[in-house]
Structure 1
Amino acid sequence: RAHVETYGLRGGADWHGRDVQLEGDGMRFTAWHEGKVLAVVTTRLPGEHNASNALAALAASVRIGVPISNAVEAIGRFQGVSRRFEIRGQVRGVTLVDDYAHHPAKVRATLQAAQERFHPGRVLACYVPHTFSRTLSLMDAYADAFQGCRLVVLGPIEPARERHLAHTVSSQDLAKRIRGVDEVVVVDSARSAAYKLASVARPGDVIVCMSVRGFDDVVGKTLEVLERSPVA
């Protein structure tokens, strides 16, 4: 039978992260194991979800025999992977972030990380829902996933293997359900999304683009538009 240990930031777990706070562009927390303090851990990645991931990495590393100090050092050096809160560039004071977030929980975590890291700048989101069945079944969860955004731009639903379900739900349906944001628009192309995002952005803002396939490099297109025209 496999040995099981739990981890979390809310207490009650074998591995517990406390005093979670922003540290520069990333996060800092104190790692506890079975009621004892082990180490103060920093990660270069923003958001509580990345602090939780760092705690999991620490637990796994220690369990396979990696010295705690080595594990903490490695976690602190890790700069992330492609399309996981990847900062693609900054133009005229506007930061562009690319992320793989593809369901409501990931969308919410990514946007909360952006709000924390770039406060008091505004968060503008571009999102491409993935598959018709997932969009339809998670519609209620999507409703609150974008709270606090100045703008949400929705692209067409990525059908993947579900083109036969195109009649069941659309991005327009999702737009009607989203709440807690200033503006929601639906576009039919990455180019249209780029122009809309650039027209609203101003210095200090962050644009977070989330999709499975990259939405025809909407991040790159938005950077191009921003470079050619002044921000608001």
Structure 2
Amino acid sequence: MNLKDIHKIYFIGIGGIGMSALAKYFHLHRRIVSGYDKFPSSLTSEMIDEGIHIHFEENIALIPKDADLVVYTPAIPPDHQELLYYQHHNYKVIKRADLLEAVTENSITIAVAGTHGKTTTACMVAHILKYSGFDCTAFLGGIAVNYDSNFLQGKNDVVVVEADEFDRSFLKLNPNIAIITSSDADHLDIYSTTASVEKSFADFAGKIKKDGKLITKRNLSFLKYIDKTINISSYETDGTVSDFYSTNLHLIDGTYQFTVHTNVEILGNIHLPVAGRHNVENAIAAAAVAYTLGIDKEKICEALSTFKGVKRRFEFIVNDENAVYIDDYAHHPAEITAFLNSVREIFPNRRITCIFQPHLYSRTRDFADEFGKSLSICDDLMLLPIYAARELPIEGISSDMLLNKISTTRKAVCEKNQLIGELIKRDPDLVVTMGAGDIDQLIQPIKFFLTESTKKKKQINEYT
């Protein structure tokens, strides 16, 4: 596909985090961009302000009939009226992954994959490249706080992308450098088995260009399937046998300071401003990419020490002596375990009140026992109804079913409109929200509740 021949692009699902980055890219490159999404959001508002026309009604009367290219996301159902219109009238219709393939085809591509950690790691890589002056264009799966955007435009031919394993989309890419942060089972509605997930990650590694490099966490399960001719560097947080690793890891005021080593020299000391032990691991992976590109060691360490994080990834919404509220995108048992253990490490003496919205009926079914174990880490749990996304309900699969697998003694299922009432009953001092659905709509109400509750407590203390 020759992108030079594409002048008008229509995105079905333009408000998605990956779709919106591509829409911004083509709008910046003076293409006529428009799109549909189901609901308004901060991303759609931003694009509308930039001059991109977006509508929120599934209606073929509103779509452009002169589009050169139509792009859709796998989250769009196959019976979507607009998608069906374009397909039946023989427009060029492709998935988001196909467009990302075309955009990166002639670039030096750094692709970050993994069932967990890929968004933060990709943002870290992009930040190092920007901060150091190496530069890059980046299509990110989250809002990088340093830039308040999921899309960064560069002046060279280096592109950083998040490589999504869902629907095997990452197999469209041919990176020069690839990171694989994890290969745990997920999306079993697509892959069916853990072995199929692992083989797909091995297939992704096989897409790396000749003379390219794979940077992967040491001892991941997919490695047993990998082509042994691939040039591999490993990383880890603990231990000294990998090509990149950390030592002197210690917690300072809720964040980590550590030393990064290569297998031949010390890279330098880093005080990572974002919380979470798992983010130290992500930082080492990002540092490994930058080192491979020949970026100055001091610049790598300085960049990571100025990294402000990613929206909805261990994001502190409220953080004072009276109340703490942290929001995270965790929606898989391994992510929940890593997140809650990090929260516990930072706040060992506080009671963790957790609000979790399960994402997808199939994921809840496939990992019900694992969810039970990971969610039992918290002290007080409120489960919201399952967020269906693209799925229909599955008989017997519900938040009530999941609740029975959780050993936490104080636990309940509640609707979103009941949540603040439940929080009033509990009077929490540490709240976390987790999930990949629309739980982010509750962030501001919870923040308001906690800040107002703190004000009332102060007023009471002043009069007693």
Rounded Cα–Cα distance in structure 1 between residues aligned with 2:374 and 2:280:
20
Structure 1 residue 183: deviation in Å? 1.3
1:188 aligns with 2:415: yes
Q: Which runs of 5+ in 2 are unaligned?
A: 1-209, 214-231, 458-464
Task: Give the match for residue 406 of structure 2.
Answer: 178
Task: Give the match for residue 375 of structure 2.
Answer: 146
Rounded Cα–Cα distance in structure 1 between residues aligned with 2:249 and 2:376:
22
Rounded Cα–Cα distance in structure 2 between residues aligned with 1:42 and 1:21:
10
Between 1 and 2, higher relative CO (CA 8 Å, sep ≥ 6) is seen in: 1
Task: Give the match for residue 357 of structure 2.
Answer: 128
What percentage of residue pairs aligned between the two structures are identical? Answer: 28
1:29 aligns with 2:258: yes
Task: Give the match for residue 7 of structure 1.
Answer: 235
**Which of 267, 272, 277 is the equivalent residue of 1:43?**
272
Rounded Cα–Cα distance in structure 1 between residues aligned with 2:279 and 2:382:
25
Q: Which runs of 5+ in 1 are unaligned?
A: none
**Which of 312, 326, 339 is the equivalent residue of 1:97?**
326
Rounded Cα–Cα distance in structure 1 between residues aligned with 2:287 and 2:410:
40
Rounded Cα–Cα distance in structure 2 between residues aligned with 1:59 and 1:207:
34
**Which of 425, 434, 446 is the equivalent residue of 1:222?**
446
SS of 2:283 mapped into structure 1: helix
1:89-132 residue CA offsets vs partner (Å, 9 max, x unmatched): 25781111111111111111111121122232221111001001
Rounded Cα–Cα distance in structure 2 between residues aligned with 1:227 and 1:207:
12
Amino acid of the structure 2 residue aligned with 1:120: N
Amino acid of the structure 2 residue aligned with 1:5: S
Q: Relative to 1, partners in 2 of residues 1:81 and 1:198: Cα closer, same or farther, differing over 3 Å?
A: farther
State whether residues 198 and 226 of structure 1, in contact with CA within 8 Å, keep that contact through their aligned partners in structure 2. no
Task: Give the match for residue 110 of structure 1.
Answer: 339
State whether residues 131 and 157 of structure 1, in contact with CA within 8 Å, keep that contact through their aligned partners in structure 2. yes
State whether residues 139 and 174 of structure 1, in contact with CA within 8 Å, keep that contact through their aligned partners in structure 2. yes
Count of aligned positions: 226
SS of 2:248 mapped into structure 1: strand
Q: Relative to 1, partners in 2 of residues 1:145 and 1:22: Cα closer, same or farther, differing over 3 Å?
A: same
Rounded Cα–Cα distance in structure 1 between residues aligned with 2:377 and 2:387:
25
Q: CA RMSD in A?
A: 2.0
Structure 1 residue 153: deviation in Å? 0.7
Task: Give the match for residue 202 of structure 2.
Answer: none
State whether residues 277 and 342 of structure 2, in contact with CA within 8 Å, keep that contact through their aligned partners in structure 1. yes
**Which of 83, 88, 97 is the equivalent residue of 2:312?**
83
1:62 aligns with 2:291: yes
State whether residues 99 and 211 of structure 1, in contact with CA within 8 Å, keep that contact through their aligned partners in structure 2. yes
Q: Relative to 1, partners in 2 of residues 1:155 and 1:140: Cα closer, same or farther, differing over 3 Å?
A: same
Report which stretch shifted further, 206-215 or 123-132.
206-215
Amino acid of the structure 1 residue aligned with 2:353: L
Rounded Cα–Cα distance in structure 1 between residues aligned with 2:256 and 2:248:
10
Rounded Cα–Cα distance in structure 2 between residues aligned with 1:36 and 1:91:
40
State whether residues 83 and 99 of structure 1, in contact with CA within 8 Å, keep that contact through their aligned partners in structure 2. yes
Amino acid of the structure 2 residue aligned with 1:184: K
Structure 1 residue 146: deviation in Å? 2.4
State whether residues 153 and 186 of structure 1, in contact with CA within 8 Å, keep that contact through their aligned partners in structure 2. yes
Structure 1 residue 162: deviation in Å? 0.8
1:148-206 residue CA offsets vs partner (Å, 9 max, x unmatched): 4220111000101112x332400011111112x341111122x322322343234xx32
State whether residues 45 and 79 of structure 1, in contact with CA within 8 Å, keep that contact through their aligned partners in structure 2. yes
State whether residues 357 and 387 of structure 2, in contact with CA within 8 Å, keep that contact through their aligned partners in structure 1. yes
State whether residues 276 and 314 of structure 2, in contact with CA within 8 Å, keep that contact through their aligned partners in structure 1. no
Report which stretch shifted further, 30-39 or 108-117.
30-39
Rounded Cα–Cα distance in structure 1 between residues aligned with 2:319 and 2:254:
15
Question: 4+ residue runs of structure 1 moved beyond 4 angstroms?
Answer: 227-231
State whether residues 114 and 206 of structure 1, in contact with CA within 8 Å, keep that contact through their aligned partners in structure 2. no
Rounded Cα–Cα distance in structure 2 between residues aligned with 1:79 and 1:53:
14
State whether residues 97 and 219 of structure 1, in contact with CA within 8 Å, keep that contact through their aligned partners in structure 2. no
Amino acid of the structure 1 residue aligned with 2:413: V
